[in-house]
Chains A and B, each alone.
Chain A
Amino acid sequence: MSIIDVVQLSKHYGDKQALDNISFQLSQGAPVALVGPNGAGKTTLFSLLCGYIQPSTGSIKILGENPGSSALFGRLSALPQDAQFDPRFSIATQLNFYARLQGMSNAESKKDTERVLDMVGLSDVINSRPSELSHGMRKRATIAQALLGTPEIVMLDEATAGLDPVNAREIRNIVSEHAHNTNFILSSHDLSELERLCEQVLYLDNGQLKQHQALNNDEHTRYLTLRMQKNHDEFSTKLLQIPSISDVQLTQDKEYLITIDQVETMDNMQFESTEMQLLKMLAENNWHYAQIINGKTLENRLF
């Protein structure tokens, strides 16, 4: 079932084209990553999906409704980039208010506020004002507002930016724990984070949708990404001696993208044997690897 339908969407601010005729359809399922360089149009797309701004041309349907429609209240939630709570009221007061706006009773809103603050690890500062909290805590509180109720779609724009590693991991855990019943759309510059969480990716560049694809490897050619602890002479040459490896590219320092050809003709055992041969070669040459990834990294897919 399609949850978001975007057709020929464009947005320009004066002469600047922020989004240029993009179309895509997102289905219910695993989290979707929205990636792209600064100024690519990610936040503009988020704002259009949330109904904060109007498109110049094109149409958007979210769960069959127009963005900003009252039919989406409580069904769509978001963490807009840089949005802040009102500094004059406590976190609990504001979350209660938002929950009430979503249609909860006073008792339900209090209970739900406690639940979402507990999820982001802020139970102990429930009655604090935003000004009394650190940047990371304020960010987590705004993430909590996106989790109020039972939204069907949650859009998080740079959710983990500015969070310490422990809290960033907590947020990732929340996303993965709820991914089975909530559709998350995540924007981040941390590609390894998106790689862990997302199965679909929307890649925006200069206002254009460059790629809209599933991350899981369904191509005929298989890839391995090998990260070594050190660089070694003759490394690529030796790897190419393994019959099923057709190409080895140094993608960045100590990281190699290995192409395994004719996988469609090989059975599973043969594929495993390629990996076994690789590991054997590493051991024989006393070459220490740091990480082996089945497939391309998101970074290698996009750039």
Chain B
Amino acid sequence: MIRLFNTKRGLLALLAFATIWFIILYYFVSAASDIIASPTFEGMASQVFGALGVFALLNWDVAEFSIYWLVAVYFFPMFAILICSDQLCSDKQRGTLRFITLRATRLELILGRYLGQVLIISILILMTILATSFLASVRNIDLFYSSLTLGFRVWLELLVVVLPFIALMSMLNAFVSSAKFAIVIVTLFFGLGPLILALIKYQFGQEFYLNLLFPGEQIGEIFAQASSQTNHYLLPLVQTLLLLVFSYFAMKREPI
């Protein structure tokens, strides 16, 4: 938290984040929600959302959040991978972790860093949610209350989506020695992983459900917001738990 909000480098990263989201909200969310909310373009919006398979989003009370959701549900997992890529690496490399492990267990270290990252990401998501609510309220002040309640629901859903991504980076941080290397590995994991799974399926001719190991596996289903099934939330939570348990056991034996 302090690294992000109280250091020059952290504040610069925060400024970059704010700039990106200003562009997304002002030029994309605001403009698109005007179109969706306009009775003139109602038919066109239905066609576009129908083609994308996200027709259910048109039923949301606040149009800004429909567009926000489409962007955020893919943006934040990728952002979490980037921003959480250095949970332990630089401290390990510098030897700072050696000072800390004389005063904290490795479980405390893994959980502390993980929860810290969750807190940071949750604050950043909340900031974008509040900005979206503000945009909606500026367009129509009557939407203020409904944008807050919908915003809270979206915040919670996004948080559940990013949890296993942060845990995946925690696990990688237990092994690798640099944040860049962690990003390279995670890129290969998501890039080559599906290909390997397809090869396994082709080779053995049956489904092993290994795709469930990939964080974000449920995003394709929740993207449309067509239905709310328990496994949409259960899967990321179970993935998070397993990744954290694995991180702990990896960290326990890892030299520091």
Structural contact, B103 and A88, CB atoms closer than 8 A? no
A29 lies within 8 A of chain B by Cβ: no
A200 lies within 8 A of chain B by Cβ: no
The interface size bin for chain A is: 20 to 34
Structural contact, A102 and B255, CB atoms closer than 8 A? no
A65 to chain B: closest CB distance in Å?
12
Structural contact, B102 and A50, CB atoms closer than 8 A? yes
A80 lies within 8 A of chain B by Cβ: yes
B95 lies within 8 A of chain A by Cβ: yes
Q: What residues on B are CB-neighbors of A268 within 8 Å?
A: none
B139 lies within 8 A of chain A by Cβ: no
Interface residues, chain B, CB within 8 Å of chain A? 2-3, 7, 9, 91, 94-96, 98-106, 253, 255-256
Q: What residues on B are CB-neighbors of A82 within 8 Å?
A: 95
* 23 A-B contacts (beta carbon < 8 Å): A52-B256, A53-B255, A68-B101, A70-B105, A72-B102, A73-B102, A73-B104, A76-B102, A78-B98, A78-B102, A80-B95, A80-B98, A83-B96, A83-B99, A85-B99, A88-B3, A88-B7, A88-B9, A89-B2, A89-B7, A101-B103, A102-B103, A145-B99
Q: What residues on A are CB-neighbors of B99 within 8 Å?
A: 80, 83, 85, 94, 98, 142, 145
Closest residue of chain A to B94 (Cβ to Cβ) is A84
Docked CA distance A142–B103 (Å): 15
Closest residue of chain A to B9 (Cβ to Cβ) is A88
- In chain A, positions 6-61 with a C-beta closer than 8 Å to chain B are 47, 50-54
Docked CA distance A50–B104 (Å): 12
The 8 Å CB contact of B253, one of A54, A74, A77, A78, is A54
Render A87-101 as a binary contact track against B, CB cut-off 8 A, 1 for contact.
Answer: 011000010001001
A86 lies within 8 A of chain B by Cβ: yes
Q: What residues on B are CB-neighbors of A52 within 8 Å?
A: 98, 101, 255-256
Q: What residues on B are CB-neighbors of A94 within 8 Å?
A: 99
Docked CA distance A51–B9 (Å): 32
Docked CA distance A145–B99 (Å): 8
Q: What residues on B are CB-neighbors of A142 within 8 Å?
A: 99
B1 to chain A: closest CB distance in Å?
12
Structural contact, B103 and A74, CB atoms closer than 8 A? yes
Given known contacts A98-B99, A98-B103, A145-B99, A86 and B255 CB-to-CB distance under 8 angstroms: no
Across chains A and B, which 9 residue pairs bring their CB atoms closest together, nearest first? A83-B95, A101-B103, A80-B98, A53-B255, A83-B98, A88-B7, A84-B94, A52-B256, A73-B103
Q: What residues on A are CB-neighbors of B106 within 8 Å?
A: 68
